Amino acid sequence: MVVLIILVVLALIALLVVSTINRAQEKEHARRMQQRKLKLQADALVDVVTCLEQTLPNQMIAKYVNDEAIRFMQQALQLETAPSPHLESAIRHAMIHSEDLLAGKTQRNASYQRDSDAQIAQAQVHLNEATKVLRHLCAQGILTDTELEVFTSELAWAFLMVSVASYIGQGNKFAALQDRFSAQSFYQKAQNLLMESLHPDPRRVRMIRELSEIIEGSRKTMSRDLMPDRPRDLTSETATTL
């Protein structure tokens, strides 16, 4: 009888140990999954920041998105059970980058133009993601409603212009190759997008008018303030079809 009791006790202890180990493994698995999710979110936002820097002249939007990426990295670091030099280094570099964005030290030759439909689509995905981040920051009180309105209007304009400027750029390439028919086709695509848009930016109406003049042949290029990406000498280049 005593032996039976001992065996039962040992069995219960074994079950308790197994249960404890399983709970620890489940907790560790959940920690790793959460950390992985945070790292992926941070990486995705870093890609958005890169797109914003390459597309928008206003670097403050990129700065706010970069700050959000830093917060994800810091949350991932808090879940570490051991020192993580790689993650700590990534946070330091991201913080320095935010400081540079705030100080205007990272100004690139921003351009709306892209060379393919895939690049246009990717840029627009990133612009939409930036808008979501800004709305989240406004809900947290990090941005004011006024700042949100200004920034989202700029992002909406960039979303439109990524397609419009890319089509105009392709039109310029075909025009340089003396392919008037293809050039007009791209100019018309750009104009149609502008006409379908409801964005209140006054540049939209001016661009529609100037594109009409280009299509009619009374104008060769867009005004510099409307289309800062000036066409290069493309006589030897092959136009990329969008």
Least confident of 11-25, 102-116, 122-136: 11-25
In this structure, of 107-121, 145-159, 202-216, the range with the lowest mean pLDDT score is 107-121
Inter-CA distances, 11 with 86, 93, 238, Å: 44, 53, 77
Res. 235: pLDDT tops 90: no
Q: 71-79 long-range CB contacts below 8 Å, 24 or more apart?
A: 72/38, 72/39, 72/41, 72/42, 72/45, 73/38, 73/39, 73/42, 75/38, 76/35, 76/38, 76/39, 76/42, 79/31, 79/34, 79/35, 79/38
Output the pLDDT for position 234: 35
Instruction: Give the Cα separation of 232 and 235 in Å (integer).
Output: 9
Angstrom CA distances, 213 to 82, 156, 171, 188, stand at 65, 26, 14, 11
Map out the domains of the chain as residue ranges.
17-110, 112-242
Segment 162-170 shows an average pLDDT of: 96
Cα–Cα dist 84/219, whole Å: 59
Supply the pLDDT for residue 107: 63
pTM of the model: 0.84
Check whether 131 has a pLDDT greater than 90.
yes
pLDDT exceeds cutoff 80 at 126: yes
**Tokens 């089509």 found at:** 167
